[in-house]
Chains A and B, each alone.
Chain A
C-alpha cells in the first residue's frame, strides 16, 4: 500500500502519524517545510467539552452549539463524531507535550469562545496552533527517523493521477528548487492543503494559502461544496501586506467591543445580544460591526473600525494569556493595547466550503481523500471559533484510518496500473509549465491577483447583492481573458517562483468563480452568506449543500439534502440563551396546537 499526504498542517500531520503508526509508509508532500504551515497562525484555542468548570458541558452540547453556529448546514453525524472525540483528542495532544495553559492544580485550563456560553476552549497562551503543529511535527520527525515518512518539502502539488476507471492512483508534484516535475504512486492521495485566503488577498491567512490543490482537484472532477460560505472574522487589524487577526480569545478573556454614540462609549454587541454579548458567532459579530460602521456611520472617526478593549483587565493577567496577540498588535499597529483600546475591523479568515467528501473523508473520486480546511464537512454555514483546529485533527485521524481501510480493500493497486497513465498526466503538467515559461505578455500576474482580491473583498464578503456578485463574476471572466497576456518576467529553470505563482493564479480564478457562483445560487441568508435581497434563512428550499461541478464553460451547481437526523433546526438567536429559545419555540408550538384544536 502506498500513501501520499499532501500538506503538513494539523490535518496532514495527524493523518501521516495515523498511517505511519499502523506500519505503512507515507510520502508527505508540502509547499513549505511542514513546520511552517499556516496552522502555525492559529491563536485562540481548540474546542472540546472536557467540562472542568462545573458548567454541565458535554459533547452533545458542543455538537448543538456547532450546528447552531453553522446555521444547520452541516451534515450532522460527522459533526457529532468530532464533538464526541474532541476531549480525547485534546488529551492526546497533551500527551504529546503541547504546553497547554494550566490551572493552579496543573490541569488543562479552558477559556470561553464565540457561539457558546461555557468554557470549552483549551489553549496554549495565544499561539495554540503553533504549539499543536509543533507537537505533531515532532511526532512526524520521529516517524521519519523510523523510515515511515518521506518528506518532500518545498514541492508544489499539481494534480491527481486518475486511471481509466476514474480511480486516483497517485499525483504529480514539482520540486520548487530544481523545477523537476514528477509523478508519485499512491493508492490513497490525501489532500490536506488548507484554506484559500489568497483569493481574497489581504486576509488573516498565510500568503501561501492559494487553495491551488483544491482547485486542481475541482477541475479534475471533485465536487466543491458550499463554496460561498466564507468566514469574515470580526476583529482584525489593518496592514499594508496583510490583515492580522486579534483572536476571539481576547473577547473570551473579557475584551469588549465598543464605539462612541452621542459622545459616550456604546457597547453595541452587549446591548443587542444580552445573553452572548461579545461572544456571538462570527458572522453575527461581523454583521454587527458592519452595521455600526457602514449603516449607522458610527465607526471610530467615521472610519471602518471599532474598539476592542482590554484596558479594563489586569494587564499582567491578560499579558500572560494573550501575549502573542498583544505583541502582534504592538508590532503592527504600534500602540500599547493594555493602555489604548485596539482598533479592529472584519477581514476574510476561513473557508467553510471546500472539497466535497463523504463520511470517510473521500471525495467523489475514489482514492482521493481530503481533510482539514480544504474540505467542507464540519462547519456548515459558519464555523465556531476554535472548532477548526479540532476538525483538522479529527478529520486527520478519520482519514488516516479510513484510507487504510480503503487501500486494504483494493483489488488492483497503483503499482498494477500502467505507467502510461502516470506518463500522460506528467506530460500534461510539463506542457502546462512550458507554456507558462513562454508567457511574454504585458500583464503582471501579481497585479491581476490584486484586481481579483479587490472585487472578492469588496463584493463577496459580509453583505452580498446579486448585482455586485454578477459584476465580480464578469470581472473574473475579464481577468481570465487577460491571463492569456501575462508575462512571466523570469524564465529561469531554477526556483522560478513567478512561474509557479502564475499556475496558482489560474487555480485561484477557478475557485473564485465557484465562490461567486455559489453565492449567486443560494437565494437565502444563512450563516456567513447574507443577502439583504433574501434576508431570511429558508430551510424549505435552501437547507441544502450546494455542489459546484467544474466545466470548461464555468461551474454548474446542484443541490444535496443535508442530514439533519439528530437535531431539528431551531431559529438562530444569540440575544437569549438556548434554553430560552427552546422554551419559547415549545410555547409557540403549543399555542398554535391549541389554535388548530379550536
Chain B
C-alpha cells in the first residue's frame, strides 16, 4: 500500500475561520476519495503526526446516485464516491462546495436546491392515491428524454460550476431548468406547463442564465443542461409573446384543484 497526501480545507462551523489540514493516508486498491476519508476516521492524525478531529463530510450511497457527497476535488465539483484515487493527480485537494452555506468541513447545506423545486412546482399533480387505472401512455422517445433528466440527484455540482449562481443573483440554477422540462414533458405535467414556464420567466429564472455552459461539463449524470436551457428560453419567450398578443393574465393555476 502506498500513501497519498490529502489537503483538506476545514472549518469547524459556519462562523469559524477555515484552515487547511494535511493528511497522509494509505491507499488500498480500488480506493476512492471516500475510502481515504474513512481511513482518517479510523486514525484521526494529521500529516504532522498530531491527533485531530475526524473530517466531517456527507455521503450515503457510495455509488453516485444519492447526490450527497459532492465536493470540490482538485478544483472540480464532483462526487467523492466516484473519484477513484488512481485517476487523481496528487496531492489530492478537497474543498467544500462554495455556493452553499457551510455546515462543517466538507459538509454543506443544500436546502436551497430543494426549496427551488417548490417554486417551479416540480411534481405531477394527481387527483389522489386511490385506484384510477394506469397512467397515460408515454412514447418511448419521450420516456428516454425524461429518464435522462430524472436521474438528476440534486448534487449541486452544476450550481458550483455556474458563474451565475452566486450571492448577487437569485438564479435558481440549471437543475431547476432541467426539472421544468422533466415535468412539462409528461402528458399530465404538460397540462400545467405554462405555470412552470412563468415560474422561470421571473426573477431567479432563466433570463439570468449567461450560457457559460460550465454546468453541463460537470454534471455527473450527463444531463444535456445547455440544450434544455436553450429550449426553455425559446418556450418562455414564445409564451411571453403569446401572452402579450392575447393580453391575458396568468393561467389560474391548479393550487385550487384538489391535490
- Residues of chain A touching chain B, judged by Cβ–Cβ distance below 8 Å, are 17-18, 21, 32-33, 35-38, 40-41, 88, 91-92, 94-97, 99-108, 124-125, 127, 130-131, 134-135, 138-139, 141-146, 153, 177, 206-208, 238-242, 244, 324, 328, 331-334, 397, 444, 446-447, 450, 489-490, 492, 494-495, 497-498
A590 to B59, CA, bound (A): 60
In the complex the two chains form, is A97's CB within 8 Å of B129's CB? no
B92 within 8 A of A: no
Contact between B38 and A446, CB atoms less than 8 A apart: yes
Q: How far, in angstroms, from A239 to B30 measured CA to CA in the complex? A: 6
Given contacts A96-B135, A244-B63, 10 further A-B pairs with CB under 8 A are A33-B110, A35-B153, A41-B61, A91-B134, A92-B129, A97-B186, A99-B146, A138-B117, A244-B62, A495-B104
**Which B residues from 144 to 199 make CB contacts under 8 A with A?**
146-147, 150-151, 153-154, 183, 186, 188-189
Given A96-B124, A240-B31: A495 touches B107 (CB 8 Å cut-off):
yes
Q: B259–A494 contact, CB under 8 A?
A: no
| Contacts A100-B143, A141-B123, A332-B30 given; does A241 touch B13 at CB 8 Å | no
**Known A96-B124, A139-B123, A141-B122; contact A241-B65, beta-carbon cutoff 8 A:** no
Q: A241-B32, A495-B13 are in contact. Are A489 and B122 (CB under 8 A)?
A: no
Distance between Cα atoms of A397 and B130 in the complex (Å): 10
From B43, B63, B117, A332 is in contact (CB under 8 Å) with: B63
Contacts of A142 in B (CB 8 A): 121, 123, 125, 259
Q: Count the A-B residue pairs with Cβ separation under 8 angstroms: how many?
A: 197
Interface of B is mostly: loop
Give the docked Cα–Cα distance between A108 and B133 (Å).
13
Pick from B128, B143, B186 the residue with the most CB of A within 10 Å: B143
Q: Is the CB of B65 within 8 A of A130?
A: yes
| 9-residue interface stretch from B48-56, B204-212, B223-231, B242-250 | B48-56
Known A-B contacts A36-B67, A124-B147; the reply to A91 vs B12 at CB < 8 A is: no
Tell me the B residues contacting A by CB distance below 8 Å: 12-13, 28-32, 34-35, 38, 41-44, 51-54, 56, 59-68, 81-82, 84, 103-104, 107, 109-111, 114, 117-118, 121-126, 128-129, 131-135, 137-140, 143, 146-147, 150-151, 153-154, 183, 186, 188-189, 259
Q: Which residues of B contact A88 (CB under 8 A)?
A: 131
Report whether B186 and A240 are in contact in the complex, using a CB–CB cutoff of 8 Å: no
Q: Complex: how many Å from CA A38 to CA B65?
A: 9
Nearest Cβ on chain A to B12's Cβ, whole angstroms: 6
* C-alpha gap A550/B135 in the complex (Å): 46
Find out whether the CB atom of A138 lies under 8 angstroms from the CB atom of B56.
no
In the complex, the answer to whether B67 meets A444 with C-beta atoms within 8 Å is: no
The reply to whether A489 and B51 contact each other, CB–CB distance below 8 Å, is yes
State which of B31, B60, B134 has its C-beta within 8 Å of the C-beta of A36. Answer: B60
Judge whether A99 and B147 touch: CB under 8 Å.
yes
A37 neighbours in B (Cβ, 8 Å): 60, 66
Q: Which 6 A-B residue pairings sit nearest by Cβ, starting from the closest?
A: A94-B135, A106-B137, A138-B123, A97-B124, A490-B53, A495-B104
> How far apart are the CA atoms of A324 and B222 in the complex, in Å?
12
Write out the residue numbers on chain B whose beta carbons fall within 8 Å of the beta carbon of A17: 129
Q: How far is the CA of A237 from the CA of B13 in the complex (A)?
A: 37
Knowing A95-B126, A142-B123, say if A208 contacts B65 (CB, 8 Å).
no
**Using Cβ atoms and an 8 Å threshold, which residues of chain A touch B133?**
91
- Interchain residue pairs with CB less than 8 A apart (17): A40-B61, A95-B126, A96-B126, A97-B188, A99-B143, A106-B137, A106-B138, A141-B114, A141-B118, A207-B60, A240-B31, A241-B35, A242-B62, A244-B62, A495-B103, A498-B53, A498-B54
User: Do B143 and A102 touch (CB < 8 A)?
Assistant: yes
Question: Which residue of chain A has its CB nearest to the CB of B33?
Answer: A241
Q: How long is the Cα–Cα vector from A121 to B132 in the complex, in angstroms? A: 21
Q: By the criterion CB–CB under 8 Å, are A177 and B28 in contact?
A: no
Task: Name the distance in Å between B26's Cβ and chain A's nearest Cβ.
Answer: 11
How far does the alpha carbon of A328 sit from the alpha carbon of B63 in the complex, in Å?
Answer: 7
Contact A240 B30 (CB under 8 A): yes
Task: Tell me the bound Cα distance from A95 to B52 in angstroms.
Answer: 51
Question: Cβ of B103 and Cβ of A450 under 8 Å apart?
Answer: no
Contact A32 B60 (CB under 8 A): yes
Whether A177 lies near B103 (C-beta < 8 A) is yes
Separation of A444 and B41 alpha carbons in the complex (Å): 8
Cross-chain contact A145 with B118 (CB below 8 angstroms): yes
Q: In the complex, what's the smallest C-beta–C-beta distance from A335 to chain B, in angstroms?
A: 12
- In the complex, what's the smallest C-beta–C-beta distance from B29 to chain A, in angstroms? 7
**A138 CA to B146 CA in the complex, in Å?**
15
A99→B12 contact, CB < 8 A: no
Q: How far is the CA of A95 from the CA of B84 in the complex (A)?
A: 39
Chain A proximity of B15: nearest CB distance (Å): 9
- Say yes or no: B122 contacts A36, CB within 8 Å: no
Other-chain residue from A95, A143, A240 in contact with B259 (beta carbon distance below 8 A)? A143
Contacts of B138 in A (CB 8 A): 99, 102, 106
Known: A207-B59, A239-B30, A332-B63. A18 touches B137 (CB 8 A): no
